[in-house]
Amino acid sequence: MWDKPQALNWIANFLYACAVVLMVYGLLFVVVHLPIFPLREVRVEGQISHVTREQLKLIVGKHLRGNFFTLDLAKAREAFEKLPWARNVSVHRRWPDKLEVVVEEHQELARWGNIALVNTYGELFHAASDSDLPVFYGPGDGVHEVAEHYGRYSALLSVTGMKVSELVLTPRRAWEIKTDKHMVIELGREQMDERLAKFASVYKNTLTNLGANVLYADLRYPNGFAVRKPVATTPLPKVTTGAV
C-alpha cells in the first residue's frame, strides 16, 4: 500500500474530511447548547374551553426542558396530550424563541355509563364534566357505533319533541332508547331507522293528539308496534282522626 501514492492520498483526504465533519459537529453542538437560544414564549392556540392556564403552566414548568434547538418536540407533545380534554396536539418551533402549541379539545357528546365520556368522534376519554349529557351503554367495541346511531335516532325523534337520554346496545346487538320523557323504546336488531321513523310519525300525528302518556313502545313487530300506558290506580280513601 505504501508504494501506492494515489491510495494514500485518498485515505488522507478521507481522514481529513472526517476530522472536518467532527469539528463542525462539535462546534454546532456547543453553539446550540449555549444559553443564547432560550425558549422565551410558549404560545397555546386552539378553541380551548376546558384546558386551564394553570394546567398549561404546570406542563411548561415540569416537562419542557432545553432551549430553542434542544427541546424534544415529541416529548413536549406527549406532555400536552396528557391533559384530560386534549384530543390532539401539535407542537412547532417558531424562530427565534417561541414554541407554538395547537390543542384540539374533545367535544363531549355523551357519557359511557359511569366510566368515561364520549366525544363527537365516537372516542372515549376520561375527564370530569357537569354537563347534562345522554348516557350510552354497550359492549367495549361499540362506542363508535353507539355514537353514530345516536345522531340518527336523535334526528328521527326530533319531530316528537323528545330527546334521547339513554341509548343501549345490548350484547345481542339490539337497540333500546330511553327518552327525556321517560319513555322506553325497544327497536330490536332489524330496520331500526325505518321503525323509529314510522313510530315518530304516528306519535306526532296521533298519540299526542289523544293525550296518550306512553311509557313503553315495542317496535319489534314487522307491521306495527305496541305501546303501554301508565296503569291507572284507584286513590285510597281519606283517613281522618278524631274523638270517638
Q: What is the spatial order of strands in the sheet that 41-45 belongs to?
A: 41-45, 98-105, 86-94
Torsions phi, psi for 188 (to 5 deg): 80, -155
Contacts for 145 with CB less than 8 Å, ≥ 6 apart = 122, 138, 169
Cα-based distances in Å from 34 to 20, 31, 168: 21, 5, 59
Rg (CA), the chain: 33
Cα 15 to Cα 194: distance, rounded to the nearest angstrom: 79
Residue at grid coordinates 328521527: 156
Q: Please tell me the class of the 41-105 domain.
A: alpha beta
Confidence of residue 230 (pLDDT cuts 50, 70, 90): low
Nearest in space to 112 (alpha carbons), one of 167, 171, 178, 54 = 167
Tell me the whole-structure pTM to 2 decimals.
0.78
pLDDT digits (tens, 9 = 90+) for 143-170: 999 999 999 999 999 999 999 999 999 9
What SS3 class is residue 142? helix
Q: Which of 132-141, 181-190, 208-217, 225-234 has the lowest mean pLDDT?
A: 225-234
pLDDT digits (tens, 9 = 90+) for 40-63: 899 999 999 999 999 999 999 999
Q: Where are the alpha helices (DSSP H) in the chain?
A: 5-32, 53-63, 73-81, 143-157, 192-202
Torsions phi, psi for 172 (to 5 deg): -90, 10
- Portions of the chain given CATH number 3.10.20.310: 41-105
Beta-bridge partner residues of 208: none
- Portions of the chain given CATH number 3.40.50.11690: 108-228
| CATH of the domain spanning 108-228 | 3.40.50.11690
pLDDT digits (tens, 9 = 90+) for 85-114: 999 999 999 999 999 999 999 999 999 999
Beta-bridge partner residues of 119: 108
Cα 244 to Cα 227: distance, rounded to the nearest angstrom: 50
